[in-house]
Structure 1
Amino acid sequence: MGIKNQKQVKEKDKQNLQLNLELGNLGGKPKFTPIPTIISKRLSAKPTVVFDTYWLFAAERQKIFFKKLQNASMPWTKDQILSSYKFTNAYRASDRTSQYLIRHVIYRSDLPTSKEEVFFRIILFKIFNKIKTWELLEHHLGQIVYADYSFERYDKVLTEAMESGKRIYSAAYIMPSGGKILGYTTKHRNHLKLIEKMMGDELSKQLADASSMQRGFELLLKYPTIGNFLAYQFITDINYSEITNFSEMEFVIPGPGALDGIRKCFSDLGGLKETDIIRYMADNQESEFKRLELDFKSLWGRPLQLIDCQNLFCEVDKYARIKHPEISGISGRTRIKQKYSANSQPFDCWYPPNWGINQAIQESKITKFSSKQSFNQRSG
């Protein structure tokens, strides 16, 4: 190796050392682990300092999840950004709204279990994506059953809620109104008509017959107000049920926040598509956590899926606004809007049965209880 090349290597090592010293913000020791270069068959993507932050964020956010699950006392993290602002879980299905959907909307022993009825409940819940709106409808209408559906009854409850100043839509993402196509000036009425159209088209049956997750996504994409982002989110939610049984490693669509996060993690994609980058993260998570000496605790053996890696890009986009303000994304946003406020309600989790992890969760609880009981007996 020539003298010039040796100097370049030493300079690169110094830069990597400095970057890794800066990354020691999540309670871990500074790590001299060079940021890798992702190689495709033709071109390479060039990671920034935010690339390592992606993995550090994922590991720390998952630690917080388990501490909350164990009812540990606060603080759950030393990271001031995670303590101050609201971020979703590393696993999408672990978030409270997803957990509510899975446990209290999809898998209900007191409600009809036909694919048509389950689809109706899912799409009704997801259009508004707000737990309080679902509970409001249940409170006024009783059981949410498509066989008893009435536009007038549902409209009355939602209209009265809006007139009393209640928000019926989640702030997580914006639902387009679709007024020009569906005919109403009030957004929720358009969405009720949208649901009616889906039910009339027997969309639940079409989805059940779909050969792939992408095909299910394409079926949803045909409907007014449903763009790429919503279609991907909706097919993921439907896939929590027994209507479909797709692998979450099969298909991914990056949302606007994820595109921002990818831009911050990579200065140059090197000719790769954003979907290729997300798949790289999912496929190489184990080696990346190992490279950074991070103890990432998976979801009872279930690794991060494409939807989770996509979501993490969105969350790291927000995190980097504070941690790496010098690195800009596509949107140019510099603040995080939602502050974190601790939820006093006890937190538990339960996942789609076909994931095969609910038994492991129960066994871990029994083991923990037995260990605690044994300790208390010894202490007494």
Structure 2
Amino acid sequence: MVPLLQDRRARVSSVSGASVLRVGGRELRPTAVFDSYWRFAAARQAVYTARLEGRGQPWTDDPILSRYRFTNCFRAADRVSQVLIADVIYRGSQQWEEVFFRTLLFKVFNKASTWGLLEDALGAIRWDSYDYRSYDAVLSSAFARGERLYSAAYIVPPPQLGEERKHRNHLRLLEMMMVAGAPGRVLAAPTMRDAYEVLLAFPAIGPFLAYQYLIDLNYAAQMPFSEMDFVVPGPGAKDGIRKCFGRSADGIEADVIRYMADSQEEHFSRLGLSFGGLKGRRLQLIDCQNLFCEVDKYARVAHPEIAGISGRSRIKQAYRKDAAPITAWFPPKWGLNPVH
């Protein structure tokens, strides 16, 4: 088990090892939350490893980590991402247009049960046999039964494309993207930022969603980008960065995230923390971005005196044990999966 919380004096004094950081042309003075970022990452990854190895509880000495729900350090290791990678992207036709269609259809809802509804009713999910009325009938029927179609993980605003229901407008949006040649344009983009701009141009896909969708598409074999190429800080990450560095980091959040990714070994070592990564894979930009979101939540309890941007003071989601075994199957191009 990896203990995370220490007494407050120890947390504050430990920051002296990195009292001033130079990032994005500015001098940043870390708060106590900065060291909690690294301790949280080490402790959360230790929990993930213990669960993956089938060890019994308790997995951590940290009462906050034990009581509340936090996502994994590595985005690709979370349950929804695992379903997306194994059951959506790499199952079915590997023609790029079909992979793009399946990925975006899944991610619009971001809920495995909604994907299961569609597969059970329609069979193989394919763009070349797509029929709006059939897909709408399945989703509308589930909606009428009171089933939740969308994940609560993050807000997916509905595009205004002439339909009455949110899910219908999202089906129309996906049709629009396919007809407009978005799959080919994303794949042909010379840089990750250019691919992001393709997605950003469509209705109701703002900066946060465009980046998240691109990360999901980039799990596919055809996509050439590194997760170290480009990052877009989301609202939760900006809150976490504010708590780690104060207002001095406003406007240079992407530089801060890159600093965290580039310097991770230095700070794990400085704090005497063991962090083996994801089967040796280092934290990537997307993972450091997500960790800022999680540390923002963590700090609401661990460091209530340090303010973020949103002013939120509670962690809403309590930890609930999930009896289903966790999986660990990643994009084959990463070279992390067992060789049979």
- Aligned: 1:113 with 2:79: no
Q: Shift of residue 31 of structure 1? A: 5.7
Aligned residue number for residue 77 of structure 1: 60
Aligned residue number for residue 183 of structure 2: 204
- Aligned: 1:64 with 2:47: yes
AA matched with 1:21: A
Match of 1:129 among 110, 134, 137: 110
Match of 1:149 among 130, 146, 163: 130
Are 2:15 and 2:32, in contact at CA under 8 Å, matched by a contact in 1? no
Q: Which deviates further from its counterpart, 34-43 or 193-202?
A: 34-43
- Could you tell me which runs of 5 or more consecutive residues in structure 1 were left unpaired when the two chains were aligned: 1-16, 24-29, 364-380
Whose Rg is larger?
Answer: 1
Secondary structure, aligned partner of 1:58: helix
Secondary structure, aligned partner of 1:143: coil
With the length of structure 2 as denominator, give the TM-score of the two structures: 0.95
Aligned residue number for residue 247 of structure 1: 226
Are 1:123 and 1:195, in contact at CA under 8 Å, matched by a contact in 2? yes
Match of 2:289 among 301, 310, 316: 310
Are 1:263 and 1:329, in contact at CA under 8 Å, matched by a contact in 2? yes
Aligned residue number for residue 49 of structure 1: 32
Match of 1:176 among 154, 157, 181: 157
1:287-302 alignment, distance < 5 Å: 287-302=266-281
CA distance in 2, matches of 1:310, 1:271: 15
Match of 1:39 among 6, 10, 22: 22
AA matched with 1:321: R
Aligned residue number for residue 346 of structure 1: 325
Post-superposition, which runs of at least 4 consecutive aligned residues in structure 1 deviate over 3 A?
A: 17-20, 30-33
- Aligned: 1:226 with 2:205: yes
CA distance in 1, matches of 2:304, 2:246: 15
CA distance in 2, matches of 1:348, 1:272: 37
1:283 to 1:184, Cα distance in 2 relative to 1, 3 A:
same
Q: Shift of residue 42 of structure 1? A: 4.6
Aligned residue number for residue 323 of structure 1: 302
Aligned residue number for residue 252 of structure 2: 273
Secondary structure, aligned partner of 1:39: strand
AA matched with 2:223: T
CA distance in 2, matches of 1:20, 1:200: 59
Identity of aligned residues (%): 52
AA matched with 1:193: R
1:42 to 1:298, Cα distance in 2 relative to 1, 3 A:
closer
1:127 to 1:42, Cα distance in 2 relative to 1, 3 A:
closer
AA matched with 1:113: Q
AA matched with 2:124: Q
Q: Shift of residue 59 of structure 1? A: 0.4
Alpha carbon RMSD of aligned pairs, Å?
Answer: 1.8
AA matched with 1:39: R
Q: Shift of residue 267 of structure 1? A: 2.0
AA matched with 1:120: F
- The CA deviation string for residues 113-141 of structure 1, in whole angstroms up to 9 with x for no partner, is 10000101000000000000000111111
AA matched with 2:75: R
Q: Shift of residue 225 of structure 1? A: 0.8
Aligned residues: 335
- Aligned: 1:335 with 2:314: yes
Secondary structure, aligned partner of 2:29: strand
Q: Shift of residue 201 of structure 1? A: 1.3
CA distance in 2, matches of 1:96, 1:197: 29
Are 1:45 and 1:270, in contact at CA under 8 Å, matched by a contact in 2? yes
Q: Shift of residue 293 of structure 1? A: 0.5
Aligned residue number for residue 94 of structure 1: 77
CA distance in 1, matches of 2:283, 2:293: 15
1:42 to 1:198, Cα distance in 2 relative to 1, 3 A:
closer
- Could you tell me which runs of 5 or more consecutive residues in structure 2 were left unpaired when the two chains were aligned: 1-5
1:296 to 1:158, Cα distance in 2 relative to 1, 3 A:
same
Are 1:45 and 1:268, in contact at CA under 8 Å, matched by a contact in 2? no
Aligned residue number for residue 147 of structure 2: 166
AA matched with 1:312: L
Q: Which deviates further from its counterpart, 342-351 or 90-99?
A: 342-351
Are 2:24 and 2:252, in contact at CA under 8 Å, matched by a contact in 1? no
